[in-house]
């Protein structure tokens, strides 16, 4: 989908410039590094608009998306807003003829993802999700050992987990209606790792959850995220994947992913990995550090896709997969049964 002659011709902007992690600045700087041209920031907070103007002299700032779409010639917009706004804003921008990148997760429900994908295809626009962690050193290291070297034989299970014991903070990510639930924040990263390792069609998802322990102690009360939730995914090949995120885990497991194979296991977190495999009747442990992350590849790929027609790595269909798991897991909790996956 080559649409621009040069990367610098891609005029980029962000919707959202607040937040504790200064995400707006980071995205604009990364797009600038990839050769694209920052032209606008949309932010409801006037103080944050002033910061944007200081950090990017000459940039246009807007108080609303409507104003931005009316006045700016921006052609690639990044959504850096709470999860429950992604679908509405993406559709608004796509209908106005703008290419869209959504911070992860792409949306909260499968239906939202499908509506966004339909609109992007209808208008021949780019829609993708900022899955920069697709290039995290931990998963790149894992893929080297597991896929290329076959260090643990044939993979049959991936177990993803994160969390511990502690009251959730009083920010929007702790709100079920805004965030989607406890599985949506870190869970979408861990699923994206796991789906690189088990590259197979899913057949069903089962969800489990417990809530109410922290709710009375938080600002969100009944709208507080679950205390713990899990998703179990069955694949066509018979392999399976589990994801658990918890704020009531007194004895959290080591690592973030444990991948089990016919010849051993592989455990990793953000910085290190451990390979455990059988040599006759002995267990051999090999520990190491993960390779460096390569986050810059995300925006470089987007720029090359728009200029050279290079294949998009994070397609909207790929970004839909973890959302479909999370959506079905939530429905499964309510209906108390496994639910079949649906492909478009």
Q: Which tens digits make up the pLDDT trace of 141-189? A: 999 999 999 999 999 999 999 999 999 999 999 999 999 999 999 999 9
Q: What is the mean pLDDT of residues 302-322?
A: 97
**Sheet strands side by side (includes 60-62):** 60-62, 37-42, 11-15, 76-79, 99-102, 127-129
Q: Give the rounded percent of residues in the chain with a pLDDT score beyond 90.
A: 94
Q: What is the pLDDT at residue 21?
A: 74
Q: What is the pLDDT of residues 316-340, one digit of tens each?
A: 999 999 999 999 999 999 999 999 9
Distance between CA 13 and CA 15 in Å, rounded?
A: 7
Number of alpha carbons in the 13 Å side-chain half-sphere of residue 271:
1
- Tokens standing for residue 216: 């009375």
pTM: 0.95
**Is there a cis peptide before residue 247, judged by omega within 30 degrees of 0?**
no
Domains of the chain: 7-130+296-313 (3.40.50.720), 134-292 (3.30.360.10)
Comparing 25-29, 225-229, 277-281, the range with the smallest average pLDDT is 277-281
Buried b / exposed e along 230-266 (16+ C-beta atoms within 10 A): bbbbbbeeebbbbbbbbbbbeeeeebbbbbbbeebbb
The single residue listed with the structure tokens 């040069």 is 6
Q: What is the pLDDT of residues 37-70, one digit of tens each?
A: 999 999 999 999 999 999 999 999 999 999 999 9
Q: Residue 1 pLDDT more than 60?
A: no
Distance between CA 71 and CA 74 in Å, rounded?
A: 9
Higher pLDDT, 37 or 344: 37
């Amino acid at each position: 989908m080559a649409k621009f002659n040069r990367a610098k011709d891609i005029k980029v902007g962000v919707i959202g410039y607040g937040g504790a992690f200064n995400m707006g600045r980071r995205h604009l700087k990364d797009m600038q590094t990839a050769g694209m041209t920052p032209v606008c920031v949309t932010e409801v907070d006037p103080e944050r608009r002033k910061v944007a103007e200081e950090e990017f002299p000459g940039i246009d700032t807007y108080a609303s998306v409507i104003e931005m779409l009316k006045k700016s010639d921006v052609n690639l917009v990044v959504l850096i807003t709470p999860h429950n706004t992604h679908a509405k804003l993406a559709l608004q921008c796509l209908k106005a003829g703008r290419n869209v990148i959504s911070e992860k997760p792409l949306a909260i429900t499968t239906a939202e993802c499908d509506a966004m994908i339909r609109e992007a295809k209808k208008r021949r626009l780019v829609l993708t999700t900022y899955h920069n962690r697709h290039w995290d050193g931990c998963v790149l290291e894992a893929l080297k050992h597991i896929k290329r070297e076959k260090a643990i034989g044939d993979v049959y299970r991936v177990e993803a987990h994160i969390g511990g014991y502690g009251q959730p903070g009083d920010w929007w990510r702790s709100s079920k209606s805004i965030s989607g639930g406890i599985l949506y924040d870190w869970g979408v990263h861990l699923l994206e790792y796991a789906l690189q390792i088990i590259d197979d069609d899913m057949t069903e998802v089962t969800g489990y959850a417990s809530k109410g322990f922290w709710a009375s102690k938080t600002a969100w009360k009944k709208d507080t995220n679950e205390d713990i939730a899990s998703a179990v995914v069955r694949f066509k090949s018979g392999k399976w994947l589990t994801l658990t995120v918890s704020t009531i885990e007194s004895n959290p497991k080591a690592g973030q992913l444990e991948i089990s194979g016919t010849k051993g296991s592989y455990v990793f977190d953000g910085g290190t990995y451990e390979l455990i495999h059988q040599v006759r009747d002995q267990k051999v442990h090999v520990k190491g550090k993960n390779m460096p992350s390569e986050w810059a590849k995300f925006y470089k790929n987007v720029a090359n896709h728009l200029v050279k027609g290079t294949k998009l790595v994070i397609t909207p269909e790929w970004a839909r997969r973890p959302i479909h798991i999370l959506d079905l897991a939530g429905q499964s909790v309510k209906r108390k049964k496994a639910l079949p996956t649906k492909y478009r």
